[in-house]
């Protein structure tokens, strides 16, 4: 007998953005799901399932809440405001305006929640201090901006108390700090991410995943799942095998020192005989709702035979073999560089310095979880796949080959707005293949969105190196040679670029910005029962830079000299460019002394002893650390990549298409996950054609409408993709000159193009770009042998990598009693070559540095050695930097142009993540007198303080 | 498979009745702990009963030498309440340091203590301020509620109505927070009462608050050196933890 039963499947009514709304949610439905799924208010995002990320922040009765912690039934009678309710009559509100003006957003995924939190923080405190601003942002994770520009936006509202007017519609060319074109949609909740897309009639997929580290599969029983109402089908690895689905391999072939090809690691779409890590998927459940699919997945039972497991790369051997064709768990034993030269260097060295270190395993954590929606059309035998990919064309090629039932030309891959990638969305994962195949099998669209726990378990992880290295120096402290031995954890399977990252992206960077005559590098890539490891922001270059800069500081400590002086002595000088390194690369340009000097000045390096003494009076320890880096970006000259084992080319494409009225569509084969291509590329062509930026639209991510492209990674978009755009623009200008010559009755060599006008040099008679474009589409008075239309496609294959470089300086203060460390000052001075939009570039540096701070101080993916279970599977156990952990950093730049691409740009996306960790760790080592491992947690710092004598260190 | 039902009792009596009568039922207040677990299906109740219409669970008031806080009061309302600020300002400050603004706007003191007492900062205050939990069945002194995982549980049909704290002359709470989860990796709560009594409560990661009666007199006497010595010997197996407690003690002294 129930006395009070209400709302059993009853209605819930509330007001959303001023509109009265009635819904009929289930008792356990969260408000965020009602807003997104029922009311289609998809501006409120889901980044985690643990109420930690803040992407779903909304206003409930005037106060911000995380909508994933409110049951819809609890919102009866409430007044709700979501991001969609802010902009009034198409105009952004003042918080949104300030975000746009200060470039306080990149991928836009956290932005709606962040904006809601800022509104509350300003309501409570209209004039907040920086610390109060950061405290108000504590509940919202941003992976892109490093929070600095968000703080800046809030600060501008606090101090100025007025709306910011941004200039739009003007010609905004190269070098202008133009606010971004894409921001309005992100700020108003109109960004369109994969999870926001629904296709009528869709099924929802849930994967059944291994909860053990290593086992063989005897049988999989799906009958209980099939009995659940709403479940349409369950497929296991055996079903896919029976359908002849291929498996996923690595797109890069690396050979061992004996010449044999790398072994093992191929990955079935769903495991059928063996489970190799916790999270390994072995069945897919398809149901009418995501909840039912999830519930049914829990009922699938596998009969397993447990196998011995290993998660430690240094213990990878035959006792825990994962793959039949790599019985000792060794994928490759790669040797690179000059072994003999290094032996000789070590023999004649006056000093040798050795370090052994771990580059900690990281989880990239793009705030938008991966997702895929496939829609197979039986009639046309075509399919559309929406997926969270940094390179949709590569996804199309690989997925079509893998699933087998569809031709590449019949598969349309669309990567809509992507909520951060940092490398983790380059790769082809099993899930999107399985979802496409499931749509083919069921004849219905199939949608899958990863949970945050799945992201922790199954997104490709990054780093995870164990290295021992020796640096040889002569009596004058010049570097003679470096001997490097690394074991790289590849995880349970080879991900798409897994073999490339710890070899050619690592070994080739070991010379860094220094003259080191001989370098030898041996890397053993090993399999363990952990998630696959692949490129994460920087990919190989952070590992090389961390090793090198740690060695340099260790040498300075051992020799008792200032680490800056040791660097100065060995840095390549400006006169030496182009500089051929001993590890295959030729640096085209650079001035390493310039950014070193600039950074030291900005950090007041010489004033450090005074600050250290002052801190000591308070019982605290200060340390200062420097890191110099050079990286290879603009990936890559295809022939070089091919010679090194790539099975793809690494050029980029562009299609410039003028409309008959003179507006311009730019299609690029690269893709943006927050880097602002829609603005940067528009600025590039705006400058070139003197066309107002609002007449330019940049499109990407749809394989049906852009030329085949190679996507975004390795800081390549502007250097390679931008160069393709300029090349296509050149073609159009040549065509325009021909049209102009015809109409002006002059020789083509007479025609000039300048400031948007084609004119005859002698007469100065001319035609505007608009008139030329019109003539091309209405070719009444037109050269006979010229095609009508005004569009051009270009492919650009770089002739060399680009080489951004820089110096970062970090100053820390440590409380020896608690082990707490505070970054009291951080200076980044980088040389990125030509800068198109300084606002965007600075934002990339902030974000990269903060991800570097994350690696140095907070982040580590941990597997339990005994059980093989991952211990970091939520935002409660894996610490990401939050606004409250940080202070503003200082960003500066120096300039040498890239000598070989038409933009002159070198790339800026990864620099922060490469340079920051060694600067921070060198500062900590300087403070406590010895090197400690990343992440530098309070317990590690405390232990180092306890066991070291800081007195007598070579800093003063 | 039956869809769960959502119940909206208007009185404590109705709610008590529902909880006693229904099987596999969950009470929801601020939802910070429960709702994510419902979404992930880690918890799958057949019935959900909301506390949001129960007036008995609201209000912050002084009764004699005690402060009574309704179980459904949010961390934010506790931190801003004039009554809290006038009687136990450190409790307002403690509430303001929980989670983040969005969690504080929604999460409740009752929900925190009922769902995850090992991790909530309120547990320090509960022990340090002779607190007790008043339910629809009984009044549970902090000491009986906190201590081991088995005791820190309310019965299935038990509703936490309010939390009672004894008003001290002064109190101080210091914590070193976990960088991700924000709970106290090391925490120190010190209260002093009009009668001269001093209480010293410490806790660390995944540990319940412990009252260190042994050194309370030393603390009253201002002998921090002796307290420091005590920390170091009591936690000699974990000198890092001891060092952090000493640091928190020093902060308190300042």
- A 10 A CB-CB count for B172 gives 18
Q: A642 in helix, strand or coil?
A: helix
Per residue in A439-464, pLDDT (tens digit) is 999 999 999 999 999 999 999 999 99
Q: Chain A residues with CB inside 8 Å of B10's CB?
A: 4
| Mean pLDDT of the A429-447 span | 98
pLDDT band at residue B143, thresholds of 50, 70 and 90?
confident
Contact A349, A480 (CB under 8 A): yes
Q: Could you give the CA distance from residue A912 to residue A856 in angstroms, rounded to a whole number? A: 12
Residue of B nearest to A50 (CA): B36
Q: What is the dihedral of CA A36, A148, A158, A189, to 10 degrees?
A: -20
The answer to whether the CB atoms of B103 and A66 lie below 8 A apart is: yes
Report the residue from A76, A117, A943 with minimal CB separation from B102. Answer: A117
ipTM: 0.97
At residue A167, does pLDDT exceed 90?
A: no
Q: Chain B residues with CB inside 8 Å of A53's CB?
A: none
3-state percent helix, strand, coil for chain B, nearest multiple of 5:
40, 25, 35
Of the candidates A896, A389, A467, A815, the one whose C-alpha atom is nearest the C-alpha of residue A615 is: A815
Contact A555, A482 (CB under 8 A): no
Phi, psi of A809 (to 5 degrees): -125, 135
* Contact pairs from chain A to chain B, CB under 8 Å: 162
Q: Chain A residues with CB inside 8 Å of B176's CB?
A: 818, 820, 938
The answer to whether the CB atoms of A30 and B6 lie below 8 A apart is: no
Enter the tokens of residue A76: 């009866």
User: Residue A355 to residues A347, A348, A506, B128: CA-CA distances in angstroms?
Assistant: 18, 19, 17, 49
Which of A13, A71, A147 to mutate: most B Cβ within 10 Å?
A71
Q: Could you give the CA distance from residue A109 to residue A846 in angstroms, rounded to a whole number? A: 17
The answer to whether the CB atoms of B39 and A815 lie below 8 A apart is: no
pLDDT for A159 equals 72
Q: Chain A residues with CB inside 8 Å of B17's CB?
A: 3-4
The least confident of A553-557, A853-857, A860-864, B36-40 is B36-40
| Mean pLDDT of the A418-446 span | 98
Per residue in A804-816, pLDDT (tens digit) is 999 999 999 999 9
Q: Chain A residues with CB inside 8 Å of B48's CB?
A: 27-28, 71, 73
Q: Chain B residues with CB inside 8 Å of A6's CB?
A: 6-8
- Alpha carbon of residue A585 to chain centroid: 24
pLDDT band at residue A549, thresholds of 50, 70 and 90?
very high
Q: A417 in helix, strand or coil?
A: strand
pLDDT band at residue B2, thresholds of 50, 70 and 90?
low
At residue A780, does pLDDT exceed 80?
A: yes
* Upper half-sphere CA count for residue A195 (Cβ side, 13 Å): 23
Enter the tokens of residue A136: 């108000």
Q: Chain B residues with CB inside 8 Å of A76's CB?
A: 8
Shortest Cα–Cα distance, B39 to chain A (Å): 7
At residue A952, does pLDDT exceed 80?
A: no
pLDDT for A741 equals 97
Of the candidates A313, A333, A639, the one whose C-alpha atom is nearest the C-alpha of residue A503 is: A333
pLDDT band at residue B82, thresholds of 50, 70 and 90?
very high
pLDDT for A171 equals 60
Q: Could you give the CA distance from residue B157 to residue B218 in angstroms, rounded to a whole number? A: 43
| Mean pLDDT of the A543-569 span | 98
Enter the tokens of residue A751: 């025609």
pLDDT for A168 equals 46
Q: Could you give the CA distance from residue A583 to residue A524 in angstroms, rounded to a whole number? A: 18
* H helix count then E strand count, chain A: 25, 35
- A 10 A CB-CB count for B73 gives 23
**A816: Cβ–Cβ under 8 A, 6 or more apart, which residues?**
A619, A620, A621, A942, A945, A946
The answer to whether the CB atoms of B102 and A815 lie below 8 A apart is: no
pLDDT for A5 equals 44
Contact A50, A369 (CB under 8 A): no
Helices (H), A68-194: 94-101, 111-124, 130-136, 148-160, 183-187
Shortest Cα–Cα distance, A124 to chain B (Å): 11
| Mean pLDDT of the A67-81 span | 97
**A583: Cβ–Cβ under 8 A, 6 or more apart, which residues?**
A336, A337, A507, A508, A509, A510, A511, A519, A521
Q: Could you give the CA distance from residue A721 to residue A634 in angstroms, rounded to a whole number? A: 9
- Alpha carbon of residue A365 to chain centroid: 9
The answer to whether the CB atoms of B4 and A877 lie below 8 A apart is: no
The CA-CA-CA angle for residues A628, A805, A700, to 5°, reads 135
Residue of B nearest to A70 (CA): B31
For A721-749, give the DSSP string. IIHHHHHHHHHHHHHHHHHHHHHHTS-GG
Bond prior to A578 in cis (omega within 30° of 0): yes
pLDDT for B252 equals 84
Q: Chain A residues with CB inside 8 Å of B246's CB?
A: 817
pLDDT for B152 equals 63
**A379: Cβ–Cβ under 8 A, 6 or more apart, which residues?**
none
pLDDT band at residue A1, thresholds of 50, 70 and 90?
very low
At residue A950, does pLDDT exceed 80?
A: no
pTM above 0.80, yes or no: yes
The answer to whether the CB atoms of B247 and A815 lie below 8 A apart is: yes
At residue A608, does pLDDT exceed 60?
A: yes
Shortest Cα–Cα distance, B64 to chain A (Å): 32
The beta strand positions in A797-914, using DSSP E, are: 805-815, 820-831, 890-893
pLDDT for A321 equals 97
At residue A600, does pLDDT exceed 60?
A: yes
Q: Could you give the CA distance from residue A932 to residue A921 in angstroms, rounded to a whole number? A: 8
The answer to whether the CB atoms of B21 and A291 lie below 8 A apart is: no
Report the residue from A63, A818, A819 with minimal CB separation from B105. Answer: A63
At residue A853, does pLDDT exceed 50?
A: yes
Element (H, E) at A372: strand A371-377
pLDDT for B145 equals 81
At residue A148, does pLDDT exceed 80?
A: yes
Contact A750, A738 (CB under 8 A): no
Shortest Cα–Cα distance, B66 to chain A (Å): 29
More reliable by pLDDT, A832 or B196: A832
Residue of B nearest to A71 (CA): B35
Q: Could you give the CA distance from residue A405 to residue A407 in angstroms, rounded to a whole number? A: 7
Per residue in A383-399, pLDDT (tens digit) is 999 999 999 999 999 99
Radius of gyration of chain B from its Cα atoms, rounded to whole angstroms: 19
- A 10 A CB-CB count for A299 gives 18
Shortest Cα–Cα distance, B117 to chain A (Å): 16
Residue of B nearest to A619 (CA): B247
């Amino acid at each position: 007998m129930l006395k009070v039963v209400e709302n059993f499947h009853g209605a819930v009514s509330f007001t959303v953005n001023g509109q009265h709304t009635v819904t009929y949610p289930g008792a356990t439905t969260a408000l965020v799901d009602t807003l997104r799924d029922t009311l289609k208010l998809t501006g409120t995002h889901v980044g985690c399932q643990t109420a930690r990320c803040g992407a779903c922040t909304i206003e409930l009765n005037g106060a911000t809440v995380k909508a994933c912690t409110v049951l819809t039934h609890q919102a009866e009678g409430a007044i709700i405001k979501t991001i969609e309710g802010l902009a009034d009559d198409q105009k952004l509100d003042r918080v949104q305006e300030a975000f746009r003006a200060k470039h306080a957003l990149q991928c836009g995924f956290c932005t709606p929640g962040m904006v809601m939190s800022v509104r509350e923080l300003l309501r409570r405190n209209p004039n907040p201090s920086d610390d109060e601003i950061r405290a108000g942002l504590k509940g919202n994770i941003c992976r892109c901006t490093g929070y600095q520009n968000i703080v800046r936006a809030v600060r501008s509202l606090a101090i100025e108390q007025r709306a910011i007017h941004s200039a739009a519609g003007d010609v905004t060319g190269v070098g202008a700090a133009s606010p971004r074109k894409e921001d309005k949609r992100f700020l108003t909740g109109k960004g369109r991410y994969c999870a926001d897309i629904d296709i009528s009639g869709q099924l929802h997929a849930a994967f059944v995943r291994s909860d053990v580290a290593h086992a063989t599969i005897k049988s999989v029983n799906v009958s209980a799942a099939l009995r659940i109402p709403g479940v349409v089908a369950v497929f296991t690895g055996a079903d896919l095998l029976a359908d002849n689905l291929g498996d996923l391999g690595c797109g890069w072939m690396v050979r061992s020192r004996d010449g044999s090809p790398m072994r093992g690691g191929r990955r079935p779409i769903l495991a059928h005989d063996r489970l190799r890590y916790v999270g390994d998927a072995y069945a897919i459940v398809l149901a009418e709702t995501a909840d039912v699919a999830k519930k049914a997945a829990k009922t699938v039972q596998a009969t397993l035979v447990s196998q011995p497991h290993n998660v430690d790369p240094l213990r990878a051997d035959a006792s825990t073999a994962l793959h039949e064709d790599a019985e000792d768990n060794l994928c490759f034993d790669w040797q690179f560089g000059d072994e003999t030269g290094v032996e000789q260097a070590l023999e004649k060295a006056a000093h040798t310095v050795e370090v052994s270190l771990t580059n900690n395993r990281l989880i990239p954590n793009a705030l938008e979880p991966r997702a895929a929606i496939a829609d197979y059309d039986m009639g046309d035998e075509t399919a559309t796949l929406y997926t969270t990919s940094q390179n949709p064309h590569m996804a199309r090629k690989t997925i079509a080959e893998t699933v087998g039932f569809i031709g590449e030309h019949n598969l349309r891959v669309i990567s809509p707005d992507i909520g951060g990638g940092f490398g983790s969305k380059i790769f082809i994962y099993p899930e999107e293949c399985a979802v496409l195949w499931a749509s083919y099998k069921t004849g219905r669209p199939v949608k899958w969105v990863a949970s945050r726990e799945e992201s922790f378990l199954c997104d490709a992880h990054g780093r995870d190196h164990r290295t021992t290295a020796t640096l040889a120096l002569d009596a004058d402290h010049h570097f003679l040679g470096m001997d490097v031995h690394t074991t790289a954890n590849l995880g349970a399977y080879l991900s798409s670029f897994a073999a490339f990252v710890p070899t050619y992206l690592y070994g080739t960077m070991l010379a860094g910005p220094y003259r080191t005559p001989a370098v030898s590098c041996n890397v053993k890539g090993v399999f363990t029962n952990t998630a696959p490891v692949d490129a994460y922001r920087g990919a190989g270059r952070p590992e090389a830079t961390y090793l090198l800069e740690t060695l340099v500081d260790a040498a300075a400590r051992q020799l008792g000299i200032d680490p800056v002086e040791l660097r100065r002595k060995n840095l390549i000088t400006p006169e030496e460019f182009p500089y051929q390194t001993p590890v295959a690369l030729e640096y085209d340009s650079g001035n390493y002394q310039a950014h070193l000097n600039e950074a030291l000045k900005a950090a007041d390096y010489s004033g450090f002893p005074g600050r250290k003494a002052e801190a000591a009076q308070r019982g605290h320890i200060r340390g200062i650390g420097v890191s110099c880096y050079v990286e290879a970006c603009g990936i890559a000259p295809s022939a070089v990549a091919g010679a090194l084992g790539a099975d793809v080319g690494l050029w980029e494409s562009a299609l410039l298409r003028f409309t008959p009225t003179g507006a311009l569509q730019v299609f690029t084969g690269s893709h943006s996950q927050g880097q602002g291509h829609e603005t940067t590329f528009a600025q590039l062509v705006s400058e070139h054609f003197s066309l107002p930026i609002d007449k330019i639209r940049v499109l990407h991510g749809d394989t049906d409408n852009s030329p085949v492209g190679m996507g975004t990674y390795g800081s390549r978009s502007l250097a390679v993709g931008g160069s393709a755009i300029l090349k296509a623009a050149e073609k159009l200008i040549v065509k325009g000159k021909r049209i102009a010559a015809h109409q002006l009755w002059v020789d083509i060599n007479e025609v000039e193009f300048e400031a948007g006008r084609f004119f005859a040099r002698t007469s100065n008679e001319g035609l505007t770009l608009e008139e030329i474009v019109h003539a091309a589409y209405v070719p009444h008075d037109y050269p006979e042998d010229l095609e009508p239309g005004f569009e051009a496609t270009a492919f650009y294959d770089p002739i060399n990598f680009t080489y951004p470089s820089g110096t970062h300086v970090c100053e820390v203060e440590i409380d020896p009693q608690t082990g707490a460390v505070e970054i009291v000052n951080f200076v980044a001075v980088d040389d990125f070559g030509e800068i198109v939009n300084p606002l965007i570039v600075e934002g990339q540096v902030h974000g990269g540095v903060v991800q570097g701070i994350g690696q140095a101080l907070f982040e580590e993916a941990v597997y339990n050695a005994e059980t093989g279970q991952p211990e970091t599977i939520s935002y409660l156990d894996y610490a990401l930097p939050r606004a409250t952990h940080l202070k503003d950093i200082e960003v500066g730049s120096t300039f040498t142009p890239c000598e070989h691409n038409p933009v002159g740009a070198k790339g800026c996306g990864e620099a922060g993540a490469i340079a920051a960790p060694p600067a921070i760790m060198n500062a900590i080592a300087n403070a406590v007198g010895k090197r400690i491992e990343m992440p530098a947690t309070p317990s590690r710092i405390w232990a180092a303080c306890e066991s070291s004598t800081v007195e007598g260190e070579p800093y003063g | 498979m039956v869809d769960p039902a959502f119940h909206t009792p208007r009185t404590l009596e109705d709610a008590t009745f529902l909880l006693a009568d229904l099987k596999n039922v969950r009470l929801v207040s601020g939802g910070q702990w429960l709702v994510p677990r419902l979404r992930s299906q880690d918890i799958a109740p057949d019935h959900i009963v909301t506390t949001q219409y129960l007036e008995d669970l609201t209000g912050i008031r002084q009764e004699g030498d005690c402060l009574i806080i309704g179980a459904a009061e949010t961390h934010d309302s506790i931190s801003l309440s004039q009554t809290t600020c006038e009687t136990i300002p450190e409790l307002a400050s403690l509430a303001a340091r929980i989670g983040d603004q969005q969690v504080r706007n929604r999460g409740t003191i009752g929900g925190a203590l009922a769902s995850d007492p090992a991790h909530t900062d309120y547990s320090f205050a509960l022990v340090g301020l002779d607190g007790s939990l008043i339910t629809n069945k009984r009044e549970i002194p902090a000491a009986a509620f906190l201590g081991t995982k088995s005791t820190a549980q309310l019965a299935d049909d038990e509703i936490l109505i309010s939390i009672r704290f004894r008003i001290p002359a002064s109190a101080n709470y210091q914590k070193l927070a976990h960088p991700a989860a924000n709970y106290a990796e090391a925490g120190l709560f010190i209260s002093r009462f009009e009668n001269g009594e001093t209480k010293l409560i410490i806790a660390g990661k995944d540990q319940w608050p412990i009252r260190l009666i042994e050194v309370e007199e030393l603390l009253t006497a201002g002998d921090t050196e002796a307290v420091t010595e005590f920390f170091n010997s009591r936690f000699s197996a974990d000198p890092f933890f001891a060092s952090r407690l000493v640091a928190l003690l020093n902060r308190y002294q300042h």
